Amino acid sequence: MEVEVSGIKKAYPHKTVLNNITFSTKAGSCVGILGSNGSGKSTLLSVLAGVHRADSGSFFYRGTDLLRRPGQIPRVLGYVPQTDPLMDELSAWDNLCMWYDKAAIRRELSEGALKVLGIDKFLKLPVRCMSGGMKKRLSIGCAVVSRPGILLLDEPSAALDPVCKENIREYLSVYKKEGGIILMATHDAQDLELCDACYILTNGELQAYQYDGDFHRLANILRME
């Protein structure tokens, strides 16, 4: 397996948020992390992204434990949190230039991720003037210009219109076909169609869930968590 997450634990005073989180996946796959609000989905992704430190556990990618070598994380992993990490006063181009060299950006605009995401259509627009869908696409673009092998997405479709959702899913399908691994926290039924495996996070523990297309059944399960 390309990715192996094992024994991840994270606790705060009076509450264990993550307890022995363990799963694995291969190249070209998408893992969906489901759960009610406050279940710990965002905490799990932030731990895997190196933003927060786990109390214990490992996160292996191609034989390297990224939790033990956090300096490797930016080289192999892109992370898009719920809140878009963009500079409001800067344009899309200037935000991209904060992270990547101009040659890489131009390459991706002409034939890569930025082209698929449609960022070339609003390249000079300041972030403060962008729609929510534009901001989300730009955030994803900033995370993948370096072509990381893993992409972490926290509620990528939340509050977006259908056109933006479809644009993002189109890119994610391409990313998977090119061998990328997606770990996604989501509540969106259409996002689940991209997933090769799903897990429900409840009471700090991860349980495998076979999504059969019945979103009402899933909603009832999450409602009881």
Quick: pLDDT tens for 119-132: 999 999 999 999 99
Domain region containing 217: 3-83+145-223
pLDDT of residue 162: 84
Structural domains counted in the chain:
1
Identify whether 66 is part of a domain. Answer: yes
Which residues, 6 or more positions from 118, have their beta carbon under 8 angstroms from its beta carbon?
Answer: 137, 167
Contact 165, 190 (CB under 8 A): yes
The pLDDT tens digits for 140-159 are 999 998 889 999 999 988 87
> Among residues 133, 141, 37, 50, which one has the least CA distance to residue 98?
141
pLDDT higher than threshold 80 for residue 13: yes
**Any idea what the CATH number is for the domain that residue 49 is in?**
3.40.50.300
113 belongs to a structural domain: no
Q: Which of 58, 19, 76, 39 shows the shortest CA–CA distance to 222? A: 39
- The whole-model pTM stands at 0.92
Which candidate, 41, 109, 128, places its Cα nearest to that of 81? 41
Confidence of residue 225 (pLDDT cuts 50, 70, 90): low
Q: Is it the case that residue 170 has pLDDT exceeding 70?
A: yes
Q: Is residue 140 a part of any domain in this protein?
A: no
pLDDT, average across residues 198-211: 91
208 in any annotated domain: yes
pLDDT, tens digit (0-9, with 9 covering 90-100), for 60-112 = 999 999 999 999 999 999 999 988 889 999 999 999 998 888 998 999 999 88
Judge contact between 37 and 201, C-beta under 8 A: no
Q: Are 4 and 66 in contact (CB under 8 A)?
A: no
d(CA 46, CA 41): 9
**Does residue 62 form part of some domain?**
yes
Is residue 215 classed exposed, middle or buried when 0-12, 13-18 and 19+ CB atoms within 10 A define those classes? Answer: middle
Q: What is the pLDDT of residue 224?
A: 64
Q: What is the pLDDT of residue 196?
A: 95
